[in-house]
Amino acid sequence: MPRLIQPNHPQDVEAAIEVLGNRAHAAILRYLHQKGPCTTGEILKGIILSGNKKLTRPSLQHHLEALEAAGAVTADSPSGERRGKRVKYEANIDGVEFELLPAYINYLRDR
């Protein structure tokens, strides 16, 4: 089995790779951008209806946490205060466009 290459990237580049290099993240961001703020259940239902039958609630939650950590998604409730609450997530396309994407491009261009 091939070994994965894992060079040390700056934190902003790692965040960009995490968001931009994942098909599930792209589907979630696109869905949230199109529909506006949604709960986990609404996102799951919408993405499954659009053809991604393999997405589960735990994997969606994991993806949302990664997207939120990277600044690509925001939530209406702080992460430490969500127990028992219905959280709505929203895409932060400006964060992707003006922070993550430039960090990735600048890395590729060796700036």
Q: Where are the domains of the chain?
A: 11-108
Which pTM does this prediction carry?
0.84
What residues form DSSP beta bridges with 89? Answer: 38, 75
| CA distance linking residue 17 with residue 11, whole number of Å | 10
In the CATH scheme, what is the code of domain 11-108?
1.10.10.10
Q: What's the rounded Cα separation, in Å, for the pair 59 and 40? A: 11
Residue 32: the pLDDT is 97
> What is the enclosing helix (H) or strand (E) of 29?
helix 23-35
Q: What pLDDT does 7 receive? A: 72
How far is CA 26 from its chain centroid?
Answer: 7
pLDDT of residue 39: 95
d(CA 20, CA 17): 5
pLDDT in tens, the chain (111 residues): 566 667 788 888 988 988 888 889 999 999 999 999 999 999 999 988 877 778 899 999 999 999 999 999 999 988 777 776 789 999 999 999 999 999 999 999 988
